[in-house]
Amino acid sequence: MLQARQADMFIGYQSYAPMLEAVPGFVTLSVPPPCQVHADYAFALCSGAAQPLAAFLRSVKAQKILQEGEFSQ
């Protein structure tokens, strides 16, 4: 939508910034801290088949991946 010039501005996750900055003509700006949204994430297990994924998400390895993706506390 942005590259097709169907929007003049996009407000999204900070983790998108490096990808957007790589596009010629795009400028990214940070939203001032008082205006930033704080989100708390959770997950629900809808079947036992989800247990391995839930266990992984709670692992040290997954926590590191999430923090690198800017999902941090």
Looking at residue 62, what is its pLDDT? 93
The DSSP string of 9-39 is: -----GGGHHHHHTSTT----PPPGGGPPP-
Global pTM value:
0.51
In which band, very low, low, confident or very high, does the pLDDT at 72 lie, cut at 50, 70 and 90? Answer: low
CA distance between the termini of the chain: 31
| 15-63 pLDDT, tens digit each | 788 888 888 888 888 888 888 888 888 889 999 999 999 999 999 999 9
